[in-house]
Amino acid sequence: MTFNPVPFTQVTLNDSFWQPRQLVNREVSLPHVYAWLERTGRVDAFKLQWRAGDPNPPHIFWDSDVAKWLEAAAYSYADFPDSQLETLMYKVIALIASAQQPDGYLNTHFTVVEPGKRFTNLRDRHELYCAGHLIEAGVAHFQATSQRTLLEVVSRYADLIDATFGRAEGQKRGYPGHEELELALVKLYRATGKKRYLELSQYFVNERGLQPHYYDLEARARGDDPAAYWARTYAYLQAHAPVREQTEVVGHAVRAMYLYSAMTDLARETDDESLFRACETLWEHLTTRRMYVTGGIGSSGHNEGFTSDYDLPDLSAYAETCASIGLVFWAHRLSNLTGESKYVDVLERALYNGVASGVSLNGRGFFYENPLASLGNHHRQEFFDCACCPPNVARLFASLGQYFYSTDGAEIAVQLYGQGSARIGDLTLQQVTEYPWDGRIRLQIETSKPASFKLHLRLPGWCTSYRLSLNEQVVSPTLERGYLCLQRKWHSGDEILLDLEMPVVYLRSHPLVASGVGRAALQRGPLVYCLESADHSGVSVHHLMAPKEASAWRVEKSTDWESVITLQTEGLQFDASAWNKSLYSTQIPTTQPASLTAIPYCLWDNRAPGEMRVWLPLETR
């Protein structure tokens, strides 16, 4: 069963969780990020006015930051046309077009900073990565406005890359060091219908990791010793072996997700079973050994990526926001390719936790890393020198609706739950729900004429009990690939009521995850919860113990945020007063009663700064 996502322009969200975030993204984050792009010189870099000796030379990845903002702006404009945003987009597009060289080349760094080193260090430099994001921006702008201005620019650049790389005589046998171009070329193919872009993506994916290794040859050609490579292994950029031979997720997490997304796209477009099987193997490894309970991935800051199986420290977790976004991209592609809900389960976990935590509620603060514990010294920043995360969050939030519904024409799948509506052909599907705060979902059908189709309602992996009724009559649907399926002729006014039981539960980790030993993560519905200092004045959250049973937690309305559900209970607090003069002791630490409040992990660090923890020690008696 293969689905296609319903475009975000046909989906409206008016819930209490995502709609406010989309509004803030549009009204605050987009102008905030653009102001920083201007302030740091990223926009003006396209004027190509920098000269040797000038300060602030255009960096190797600057173009990608501007491109991602432009992509986000295009998505926002498609949903909410705005003349000021339109004017700003065309100003940026004109700058980008003016920087394009006569042969189609387009990169600010290599045009003015290192003009003689074009395509000489694919391993370390971000030339092709920037090209990919420019292409994505060009496709997004074309789809949003039907204007081909930027699409023509990026197509010319793609044509140059196509002429430069390949297996024909005189071409370079290289491929991107930082993957991204591969998936962008598939988007360009779908937008233009030009198969050479799809074939170029295939080439880049199929060439990766072959011997003799291109990065070795490239290094020697520029006078470098391949053995001196700082990462010491091409596993850092998933080029240690041909992609079909890779069985473990390794290296830089964002690069991995973009590569696997492209592999999934190609498997779909070319019916490549071997690529799909490789994706399945990698998915299984990631989700059973190297993924945080929040949907965060990449445990180490050293390589911004993966280390070894079950190495998932909480305090030092890297879990880059962009990596969780990449996981959403990959899971979305796999779910639509296979029609299996297990991929959406992970997408939902990453989206509601690992991604939503990446931006503050006011839209002006961003996390690069998303640890699962803090001693009070980790906070969001307005921007970063390496600024990939802010515009990446912006483009995801601006196009969020595309993750909620899928269809193949004869069948419709509800992938995510949230109040709002979707227009699918002549039909409108309306959701009325307080999800993720409540598991009751009312779905209403509006159609101009009766229509026969199968409706797939995802049964979330976290849900163990549900009740489904159709027009007030309890029904027992078939369960197919994780979906509750109803096949019938639908009429306008038909109403489905899906009640998903949403208890508070404790999630335990595999025994080899050291940070989880003797502890549990608190979850309700799709949301992982945490303890934060703002709710526990005068005590370290690292001194608190939760009750042995998850049923002891009470569901309460937040006093700080409208609509938010918090969890409250009575637990214990370690008494450290007797340890003032001792570092070690044979005494068993004493405890005293303490009131505990848990908030959704995605909301931490939005109030007073302080400590936080996800994995909670449990009372033993």
d(C-alpha 255, C-alpha 181), whole Å: 11
Q: Quick: pLDDT tens for 58-108.
A: 999 999 999 999 999 999 999 999 999 999 999 999 999 999 999 999 999
pLDDT at 621 exceeding the cut of 80 = no
| pLDDT mean over 579-604 | 92
CATH number of 407-500, picked from 2.40.110.10, 2.60.40.1180, 3.30.70.360, 2.30.30.90: 2.60.40.1180
pLDDT at 576 exceeding the cut of 90 = no
| pLDDT mean over 360-386 | 97
Burial label, 584 (beta-carbon count in 10 A; 0-12, 13-18, 19+): exposed
**Average model confidence (pLDDT) across the chain:** 97
Predicted pLDDT at 585: 87
pLDDT at 578 exceeding the cut of 80 = no
pLDDT at 575 exceeding the cut of 90 = no
Q: Quick: pLDDT tens for 530-556.
A: 999 999 999 999 999 999 999 999 999
Q: Which whole-number Å values give the CA distances from 560 to 16, 527, 539, 594, in the listed order?
A: 14, 18, 20, 20
Rg (CA), the chain: 25
Give rounded-to-5 percent helix, strand, coil for the chain: 40, 20, 40
Residue 454's φ and ψ, nearest 5 degrees, are -95, 130
Predicted pLDDT at 73: 98
pTM equals 0.98
| pLDDT mean over 112-127 | 97
Q: Quick: pLDDT tens for 200-259.
A: 999 999 999 999 999 999 999 999 999 999 999 999 999 999 999 999 999 999 999 999
Give residues with Cβ within 8 angstroms of 513, minimum separation 6: 310, 312
Q: Quick: pLDDT tens for 336-359.
A: 999 999 999 999 999 999 999 999
Dihedral angle, C-alpha 163, 164, 166, 168, nearest 10 °: 70
Indicate the DSSP class of residue 528. Answer: E
Predicted pLDDT at 580: 78
What residue ranges do the domains of the chain occupy?
407-500, 504-617
Cis peptide before 81 (omega within 30 of 0): no
Residue with tokens 């269809």: 407
d(C-alpha 62, C-alpha 46), whole Å: 10
Residue 342 · residue 349 · CB < 8 Å: no
Predicted pLDDT at 594: 97
* Active-site annotation, residues: 304, 388
Structure tokens at 553: 């937690």
The fraction of the chain above a pLDDT of 70, given in percent, is: 100
Q: Which whole-number Å values give the CA distances from 614 to 63, 306, 376, 541, in the listed order?
A: 36, 20, 14, 10
Coil, helix or strand at residue 253: helix
